[in-house]
Amino acid sequence: MRRHFSGPLPAPLPLACLTFTLLAAAPLTPALAAETAAETAALTNGATSADAGQESPTSVGTGAHDRGGEILVTARRRQESSQSVPLAISVVGGEHLDSTGAFNVGRLQQLTPTLQFYSSNPRNTAVNIRGLGVPFGLTNDGIEQGVGIYIDDVYNARVASATFDFLDVAQIEVLRGPQGTLYGKNTTAGAINITTNQPTFDFQGKAEVSIGNYNFKQAKVAVSGPLSDTVAIRLAASTTDRRGTIYNVTTSQWIQSQDNIGLRGQLLWKPADALSITLAGDYSTQDANCCGSVYVGYGPTQRAANRQFPALAAALGYTPVSTNPFDRLTDLDTPLRAKNKIGGASVRVKWDLGPGTLTSISAWRFWDWDPSNDRDFTGLPIVALSQNPSQQDQYTQELRYNYSGKHFDFVVGAFGFYQRIDTQGTESQGSAASRWNINPGTNAQVPPGSSGCGPTASNKLACDPAVLDGLVAYNTQYLKNTSAALFGQLSWHVTPELTVQPGVRLNYDKKEGYYQRRVFDGQGDELLLGQSSYTPTQTAQLAIYTPQEISPEFSDWNFSYDFNVSYKVAPDVLVYATYAKSFKSGGINQNGVPVDSANNPILAAQTVKPESVHNYEAGIKTQFWDRRATFNLSIFRTDVGNYQANVSNGQYGVLRGYLANAQKVRSQGVEWDFSVRPSERFNAYVNGSYTDATYRKFTDAPCPPELSGGTVATGTQTPGAAGTPNSLSPANCDISGQRLPGVSKWTLSFGFEANTPVTLLKQEGEVYFGYDGSYRSNFSSNPSPSAYTWVDGYSLSNFRLGFRTDNGFDIYGWVRNAFDQNYFDQLFVGPSNTGLIAGLPGDPRTWGGTIRYNF
Number of Cβ atoms within 10 Å of the Cβ of 626: 9
**Residue range 389-399, pLDDT digits in tens:** 999 999 999 99
Residue 147 to residue 125: CA distance in whole angstroms: 12
Query: Does residue 100 carry a pLDDT above 70?
Result: yes
The gap from C-alpha 422 to its chain's centroid, in whole angstroms, comes to: 22
Looking at every residue in the chain, the average pLDDT score rounds to 88
pLDDT digit string (tens) for 383-427?
999 999 999 999 999 999 999 999 999 999 999 999 999 999 999
Alpha carbons 252 and 371: distance in angstroms, whole number: 20
Structural contact between residues 63 and 631, judged by C-beta atoms closer than 8 angstroms: yes
Give strand pairing partners of 224.
204, 234
Q: Which of 212-216, 234-238, 454-458, 698-702 comes out lowest in average pLDDT?
A: 454-458
Question: Can the peptide bond before residue 291 be classed as cis, meaning omega within 30 degrees of 0?
Answer: yes
Candidates 583, 420, 554, 413; CA nearest to 484 is 413
Q: According to the model, what pLDDT value does residue 13 have?
A: 36
Residue 140: pLDDT band (50, 70, 90) is confident
Q: Which domains does the chain have, with CATH numbers?
A: 15-854 (2.40.170.20)
Determine contact, residues 151/191, Cβ cutoff 8 Å.
no
Within its chain, how far is the Cα of 487 from the centroid? 27
pLDDT-derived band at 251 (thresholds 50, 70, 90) equals very high
pLDDT digits (tens, 9 = 90+) for 769-818: 999 999 999 999 998 999 999 999 999 999 999 999 999 999 999 999 99
- Torsion of the alpha carbons at 823, 825, 829 and 830, rounded to the nearest 10: -90
Distance between CA atoms of 279 and 784, rounded to whole angstroms? Answer: 46
CA distance linking residue 642 with residue 662, whole number of Å:
5
Sequence-distant (≥ 6) Cβ neighbours of residue 389 within 8 angstroms: 369, 370, 371, 423, 424, 425
